[in-house]
């Protein structure tokens, strides 16, 4: 049976990040925030979520109106 050590060594090398994360120096300015993306993203998300939740939460009201209490 082969030794498991090469497997663990390969797995640990695979799981380590090749470029370690570090904080930027204090002298470096922070990246600017692009504010005009957020209203567009909110509108795009709202176009999908609003009709979906209106359908999911509104079907009992629509069924009551359609059947008019006949069930």
Please state the domain extents for the chain.
7-67
pLDDT band for position 12 (cuts 50, 70, 90)? confident
Cα angle 51, 53, 56; round to 5: 110
Rg (the chain; Cα; Å): 28
Which tens digit of pLDDT belongs to each residue from 15-61? 777 766 677 778 888 889 999 999 999 999 999 999 999 999 999 99
pLDDT band for position 3 (cuts 50, 70, 90)? low
Q: Tell me what pLDDT residue 8 has.
A: 81
């Amino acid at each position: 049976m082969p030794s498991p050590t090469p497997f663990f060594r390969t797995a640990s090398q695979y799981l380590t990040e090749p470029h370690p994360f570090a904080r930027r120096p204090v002298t470096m300015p922070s990246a600017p925030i692009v504010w005009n993306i957020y209203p567009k993203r909110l509108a795009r998300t709202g176009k999908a979520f609003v009709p979906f939740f209106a359908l999911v939460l509104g079907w009992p009201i629509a069924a009551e109106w359609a059947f008019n209490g006949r069930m």
